[in-house]
Structures are given as C-alpha cells and as structure tokens.
Chains A and B, each alone.
Chain A
C-alpha cells in the first residue's frame, strides 16, 4: 500500500527522528510513505474562523495532490494531522468555504474533500492492524512502563478528527502493548502542553508540562511517547523533572522492529 505522505516543516528540521523512524518502520510493515511533491507548511494551527480562506490553501493543495494520486493522505505530526483533517472537513461541510477556496486555487477540477486523511497511528490500527505489528516485533519492550502523551491535536475536536475517544483514548496504549511494553494510564495524557505560547512565555508552558510529567511519574511511567514535536520540546525543555524523558512514538516502533536500536529502550 502506498500513501501520500505529508511530512511538515518540523519533521524536516528538529524532528528528523519522527520522520525517519516512521518511514523505515512503514516499509518494514509493508506500506510506503510517498512524499507529496512541493508540499507547503500547514501553518501549525487550524484557524477556525469561517472567513479564513488563505490559511486553508496549503492544506487543500496537499489534499488535492493526494486526490490526483488516488492515495490516502498520511501524516506523522499531530499538528499537520489536525490542520489538514479539519481543513478537509471544512471543504466537505462548508459549501461557502469550498467555493471560495476553489475560486482562489483554480485547480484542474474543484476539490470537494475527496481525500481521506489518516495519522500514521491510525494506519497501524486500522490498515495494518496491531496484531500484525505485534508479529513483526523483533525487540519487544519487556518490562518498560510507557506513558502515552496525546496532547490536544490528535484528539480534538473529537467530532471532526474521530481519531479515538477524546477523553479516554487507547490507540497509543494499544500501540505500546503491541510492542511488548506496559502502558501507563495517567489522567493528564490528553491535556495541553502549552503549545506555541512557549515563544512568549516559557514559564506558562513550564507550568503545564510540569503537571503532566509529575502525573506520569506518579503513575510509574519510565518514559513518555508523543507524536508532536512541540509537545516533545515543551515537555523536555520546561519540566522541573528530569526523570521522565519523552520520545517520538516512531523511535519506539523502529527500535521494537529491530530497525534502529536505542539503548534507552532496552
């Protein structure tokens, strides 16, 4: 199976491991991430204003590219997933938006939300199957207690994303189980890390992340995994605690599949 892959700005820069480990793991599990040519940055945040047209265009260009390739669109970054999926939903639900975007873009044929958008984790759950992932594991994470950090962007708004139950998700816990680890449930796993406000106010983001990390530690997590580069950065930079490191979920996957060994997961 080949998917149109939208990497996003950060996966080409500070989050290269998220990208590289995702691509090699995909190949090992029997699917290919084919990068969309000339993709443009999604902007990092969906603007919900109904008269916001220009901020939707880069996502629609990527969606239209996938449509022409007759492929589903896959992302690894939570933010790209959130922005592109919400944009696609607006193109289906909001006829005024659809008309204005198409008037602006003048594509060969109007885009009307035909492309399906998936996060890499959804591909593992719904297309590959966690049972098949489990069969492919060569270095199981025996005895490792792993906390899944979802943050906001994978889950909300739940009505649009339909990724998992936004208040009690389990996809990342099932992922951890498939790799042979023990998932640790902690109640702040779907609360915000402070996001982009880190740029203005490092203290504010630090307060959020400290609460999240202390909660995960209290529940016994050895480390956390995330799909979001900004969550990873905020948690690593601003925490008062140094005991619980944060890794990308694809680093854990590539290690378990025997593709990229990492000492800390042994």
Chain B
C-alpha cells in the first residue's frame, strides 16, 4: 500500500479522529490562536489527511505551532477534534530518527529569567520523542 495512505490510516487510528465527519465549516481554524502563523491551518490538516497528503504535513512547521489549547477540539460542531489529529501527525514526525524538533543543548540559550519549568517540560514533551 502507498506509504501516505498507510500513514493517513495510522494517524487516524492513533488520534481517534474520523476525518470523514468534517463538514468544512472552518470553525477550527477560526478559533485557533496560532492560525495566521501556520502554513497549513487546522481545517487543512483534516482535509489533507483525508486526501493522503501526509508527506507534506510531516515536513510542515505548522506541526510545532499547535498550542494544544484544545479550542478546536472543544468547538468543532461535528466532534472531529482536529487538535488530536495534529498531535498524532507530530508524533509520527518526531519519532523518526534524528527528527526531534528540540534538543537539550538548545535549551540554555532559550532560557530567560523566571521561565517556569513547565515551559521546558511541556516543550520537550511536544517537540521530542
């Protein structure tokens, strides 16, 4: 089977998201606090998984701009929960060899005074395997 097709099935299985439920209303993107920084917006993630364009999404910086704020998950009128789909694709990306988005030796330069430990632990959880 085509690798893109396999990945598409894998991310739907891992996220529990059924992309065929999407009715293209765009509410997920409208409510996303980071939508204007993203190359691909939340509603496009859903559409691109449905059309097996995983190779494009896996390379996109948009994967690391999802705040995990769950606004799209809460507000989707069809219960598609796009945030969980973004998370599942990001997991596929960072699990690849040497594909961590953040490395421990990059941390020192990013630290500022008073930055809570929570910021660092969360970034590691989101950006690395």
Contacts and interface: CB of A to CB of B under 8 A. Distances in A.
A199 B123 contact: yes
Given A199-B119, A229-B118, A230-B118, A52 B91 contact: yes
Nearest to B79: A159
A158 B74 contact: yes
Interface stretch (A37-45, A65-73, A104-112): A37-45
B116 A14 contact: yes
B98 to A, nearest CB: 19
A156 interface: yes
Q: What size tier do the contact residues of chain A reach? A: 35 or more
B15 A44 contact: no
A100 to B, nearest CB: 14
A204 to B, nearest CB: 6
Interface stretch (A133-141, A172-180, A189-197, A254-262): A189-197
B19 to A, nearest CB: 16
Contacts of B83: 48
Given A156-B71, A197-B34, A200-B110, A13 B116 contact: yes
A49 B116 contact: no
A230 to B, nearest CB: 5
Interface in B78-97: 83-84, 87-88, 91
B20 interface: no
A4 interface: no
B110 A9 contact: no
Interface string A73-106: 0000101000000000000000000000000000
A198 B119 contact: yes
B15 A50 contact: yes
B110 A199 contact: yes
Nearest to A196: B122
Nearest to A191: B33
Contacts of B70: 152, 156-157
A265 interface: no
A191 B71 contact: yes
B106 to A, nearest CB: 9
Contacts of B15: 48-50
Contacts of A208: 33
Most chain-B CB neighbours within 10 Å: which of A15, A156, A204, A228?
Answer: A156
Contact of B69 (A46, A192, A232, A237): A192
Contacts of B13: 50
A155 B33 CA distance: 16
Interface in A233-261: 233, 237
Interface string B108-124: 00101011111111110
Interface stretch (B1-9, B49-57, B60-68): B60-68
A13 B117 contact: yes
Interface string B23-41: 0000000000110010000
Given A15-B116, A44-B119, A46-B68, 5 more contacts: A47-B91, A50-B13, A191-B33, A199-B123, A201-B37
Closest 8 CB pairs of A and B: A44-B122, A192-B69, A156-B70, A196-B122, A152-B69, A44-B121, A229-B116, A9-B117
Interface of A: 8-10, 13-15, 41, 43-52, 55, 77, 79, 152, 155-158, 166-167, 191-192, 194-201, 204, 208, 228-230, 232-233, 237
Interface of B: 13-16, 33-34, 37, 64-65, 67-71, 73-74, 83-84, 87-88, 91, 102, 110, 112, 114-123, 125-126
